Amino acid sequence: MYLRVAKYLLKRGIALFITVVVAVYISILIANAGGYVDQIIKSELYISISQSVRQNPAYKALNETQVRALIEEFYANELKRIGFDKPFIYRSFIYLMDALSLNLGRSLFISSDSGSRSVRIIILERLPNTILLFTTTQLLLFFIGLLIGLLLSRRYGSILDRIFVLLAPLSSLPGWFYGIFLILVFASFLRILPYGGMVDVPPPTDRFSYALSVLKHMVLPIMSWLVAYSFINIYVRRTFFLMFSSEEYVELAKAKGLPESVIQKRYILRPTLPPIITDFSLTLIASWMGAIITETIFDWPGIGRLFYTASVLFDTPVLIGLVVIYAYLLAVTVFVLELIYVIVDPRIRARGG
Amino acid sequence: MPRLKHFFRQLLLYKSATVGLAIILGLIAISIYTVFSIPYSDAIKLWRAGEQYWLDTPRNALPSWVNLFLSKKLPETIILDTENPQVGVSKAIISAGEESSVIKVEFVFDYRYDDFPSEINLFFKSSYNSSPPRLTIHWVKPNGEDIVLKSMLVAKDDRYYISNDEKLARRLRSTFSVKLNRTIGYDLPILVLLFAQEDESLLDPGTAKVMKGTYRLWIDGIAFEKDVKLDAKLVVYGKVYGWAGTDHLRRDLGIALLWGTPIALSFGITASVSVALIQIFIGALCAWFGGKVDTVLQRVTEIFMVLPFLPTLIMISTLYKFNIWVLLLIVILLSIFGSGVKNYRAMFLQIKEFPYVEAARAYGASNFRIVTYYLIPKVLPTIIPSMVLSVADFVFLEAALAILGLGDPLAPTWGKIINDAYVNGALYKGLYYWVLEPSVMLALTSLSFAMLGFTLDKIFNPKLREI
């Protein structure tokens, strides 16, 4: 039986890895715009070389054809140095190998706050900001959805339940949209919270007031997402719990006269938890890629802003670095979830794929 | 048909669906009105013409109806033009001998608002051979005080920005300092000096009060030529305009608000319907054919799920500045291999085993016939709610791209207004209407579809209704 499970996991693992490889390769093609970015880099290189040759006093004595020949020679050497003498298709596979081995290289235009051009440092500098903001948000959303959803499913049909169902369509407006309103009310009109950013300018020197300042800047973005997505979360969880509480084994438990809390915990929450956890972990991982528009509206220096800047500037190495990290995270999460299900759910073990 | 009637009766039982449907119908009515009253090419021309077209409208004006709620009435724009004779406008050009002519122009208007205007400009059109007319421009306040604004030679197409004339401001400040025997700060704008009551309150722009009454601007001119023509237009820009107000380029926001409606509706509905239908089709193909077709399509779907949607879209739209309909096509192409494919495939896997499908297979129906006539119609009702719900997502996607500055560069859309407002710091400056108007339209659109969608969900998925 263990062999069968191992074989199943191996098969899933390989399938996931192939997905990651192909997705990264496609994003390499897209991020280079099918070789378009090469043209930009090449022409910039040519201009800078010809300028430096023409301005170099050592070559002043040469005539025009000789200068041209010299420029062409330097240009060809430089292309060879950065590996651009090979066709794009050939290089795209080198990029792929580098990306997959997390050898992320150097960015083309973007530099980190500390001035580094290393893609790894650039990403690692932004990632904590995004994780701080969105993990907090997602955790709050998760618990709000779970607890209120459970409460409403127990009080199905009450006024409270009906109010929440009525409010569910409010979630059709995205978080950043509520963000604009919250900025309008709390920053512009009441002037009690900052418009955006992550910390006061200039940043406070001692640790405690720094943390307090960051916290103050987190309030509005978190609030905007809570307002936007709480209601739909509560609605979905409530409906989910309601469907499960009409199952026969729950009826049986009720008939046996088990206390309400035991029914809640053992008969409703436990069987519904795996899909909820799956949902939550995938949402959490996705949230680490930041939210481009929310971060833009609130000027939050996170991964979403980095993604945006990199896409607009066509900073290919940064883009590919972000995609490859995301793809790996997603694949690992999916794999770990499958592993957990194999352990937890006897049905999957029996099928063995 | 009776089934349809029954469906609608059932739908209208839910209040939220009735409200949602009413709003959607209203938006459709606005769209039809807009498309027929302002043709698209005109709308783009109006929206893109810049300040050349919008000379007579105030900058960043609030919508006119705010005056209904304010105790201090904000001024409307006053336009007096000699080319357009009306009460309060008079012009005379008299030839004085062979070699010269005398020009007299007078504009008289009543000013009874509680706030100062936002700008005053004078526009001239003149025609002469060699000697341009020399004009002296006077300003007469309701108390009879006559102030010389400027003496100038006018070119063929000339303008005098009275409210930006620093020289005049300096002169006025010193005159008023002498009159009130107080120093006057440098921040006191010309408009206050020209329109305020002349007492202590004048010293601070915050407390200055408008001198209500009849104002007069008169021009005394002379030209050393016989056949001189001159037309002048005085524009006293107000602080309110139209039903929607104006933006930083003096454009009427109403145009973009109106045209945003058909664009948002068609973008949202086309995207959601086509994405849903294509996803169903792919799901059905996966489930029906199984095997290699299934494996390939499944893997493609997974790859697309790993690809970051918005960054990819941003990259593509940075590279090529698309118009909105190409953008729509790309959004659809990027979305068709979404998670929906997996859900539909699961549904079709069950339906595939139903006896009626087996029967169809038994009588020899082709694969294509089974997929399109037997499988897809079966799930169609269950996906209509999510289709309606996703309209809002696509409407907001377009707005989001516009806010990032990546939308259609020409089309007047709601997202574009929000983008303009954001770039020009509307929230810092307190120009709330600029953000609120397009936001209300966006919110109305998506809420109406959401309310309808949630109700449809209850009707089409009876499992939700029972519990």
pLDDT at A346 over 70: no
Closest CA to B90 of B81, B98, B78, B101: B81
Residue B55 maps to a domain: no
Contacts of B312 in chain A (CB under 8 A): 27, 30
Interfacial A residues in 128-187 facing B (CB < 8 Å): 156, 166, 168-174, 176-177, 180-181, 183-184, 187
pLDDT at A229 over 70: yes
Alpha-carbon distance of B415 to B406, in angstroms, equals: 10
Residue B54 maps to a domain: no
Mean pLDDT of A78-95: 80
Residue B247 maps to a domain: no
pLDDT tens-place string over residues B241-270: 988 989 888 888 998 999 999 999 999 999
pLDDT at B272 over 70: yes
Domain identity same for B319 and B418: yes
Q: How many CB pairs under 8 A join A and B?
A: 127
Domain identity same for B18 and B107: no
Name the average pLDDT for chain A. 85
Is the Cβ–Cβ distance between B166 and B148 less than 8 Å?
no
Residue B246 maps to a domain: no
- Where is the domain boundary, B202, B237, B272? B237
- The answer to whether residue A246 neighbours chain B at the CB level (below 8 Å) is yes
Domain identity same for B225 and B342: no
pLDDT at A131 over 70: yes
Alpha-carbon Rg for chain A in angstroms: 27
- Judge: B463–A174 Cβ closer than 8 Å, yes or no: no
Residue A10 maps to a domain: no
Interfacial A residues in 1-60 facing B (CB < 8 Å): 15, 18-20, 22-23, 26-27, 30-31, 33, 36
Residue A46 maps to a domain: no
Number of domains chain A contains? 1
Describe chain B by its helix, strand, coil percentages, rounded to 5: 55, 15, 25
Helices marked H in A201-269: 207-245, 248-256, 260-262
pLDDT at B64 over 80: yes
Contacts of B393 in chain A (CB under 8 A): 172
* Closest-CA residue of chain A to B302: A19
Quote the domain boundaries for residue B185: 72-237
Residue A36 maps to a domain: no
pLDDT tens-place string over residues B156-169: 888 899 988 888 98
Give the number of other Cβ atoms within 10 Å of residue A162's Cβ. Answer: 12
pLDDT at B209 over 80: yes
Give the predicted TM-score (pTM) of the model: 0.84
Mean pLDDT of B203-207: 80
Give the CATH number of the domain where residue A141 resides.
Answer: 1.10.3720
- Judge: A30–B312 Cβ closer than 8 Å, yes or no: yes
- The answer to whether residue A283 neighbours chain B at the CB level (below 8 Å) is no
Alpha-carbon distance of A283 to A288, in angstroms, equals: 9
Closest Cβ–Cβ partner in B303, B400, B464 for A23: B303
Domain identity same for B321 and B459: yes
Domain identity same for B11 and B115: no
- Where is the domain boundary, B237, B262, B289? B237
Give the CATH number of the domain where residue B86 resides.
Answer: 2.60.120
Domain identity same for B296 and B157: no
Check if the interface score ipTM surpasses 0.90. no
pLDDT of residue B36: 93
Domain identity same for B232 and B359: no
Residue A262 maps to a domain: yes
Mean pLDDT of A100-122: 84
Residues 6 or more apart whose Cβ sits within 8 Å of residue A336? none
- The answer to whether residue A330 neighbours chain B at the CB level (below 8 Å) is yes
Residue B245 maps to a domain: no
- The answer to whether residue A190 neighbours chain B at the CB level (below 8 Å) is no
Number of domains chain B contains? 2
pLDDT tens-place string over residues A47-71: 888 888 888 888 877 788 888 888 8
Confidence band, pLDDT 50/70/90 cuts, at residue A353: very low
pLDDT of residue A6: 83
Confidence band, pLDDT 50/70/90 cuts, at residue A345: low
Domain identity same for B304 and B225: no
Domain identity same for B227 and B263: no
Closest CA to A308 of A130, A178, A106, A133: A130
* Closest-CA residue of chain B to A296: B404
Closest CA to B101 of B124, B131, B72: B131
Q: What percent of chain B lies above the pLDDT cut of 90?
A: 30
pLDDT tens-place string over residues B446-462: 999 999 988 888 887 76
Alpha-carbon distance of B144 to B214, in angstroms, equals: 9
Confidence band, pLDDT 50/70/90 cuts, at residue B309: confident
Element (H, E) at A297: helix A292-297
Closest Cβ–Cβ partner in B299, B318, B450 for A19: B299
Residue B12 maps to a domain: yes
Domain identity same for B86 and B38: no
Alpha-carbon distance of A261 to A278, in angstroms, equals: 24
Contacts of A31 in chain B (CB under 8 A): 315
pLDDT at A352 over 50: no
Residues 6 or more apart whose Cβ sits within 8 Å of residue B97? none
The C-alpha of B450 sits at a distance from chain A's nearest C-alpha, in angstroms, of 5
Alpha-carbon distance of B144 to A17, in angstroms, equals: 87
pLDDT at B30 over 90: yes
Name the average pLDDT for chain B. 87
Quote the domain boundaries for residue A187: 119-313
Confidence band, pLDDT 50/70/90 cuts, at residue A350: low
Give the CATH number of the domain where residue B339 resides.
Answer: 1.10.3720
Mean pLDDT of B384-392: 88
- Judge: A23–B392 Cβ closer than 8 Å, yes or no: no
Q: Tell whether omega for the bond before B39 is within 30 degrees of 0, i.e. cis.
A: no
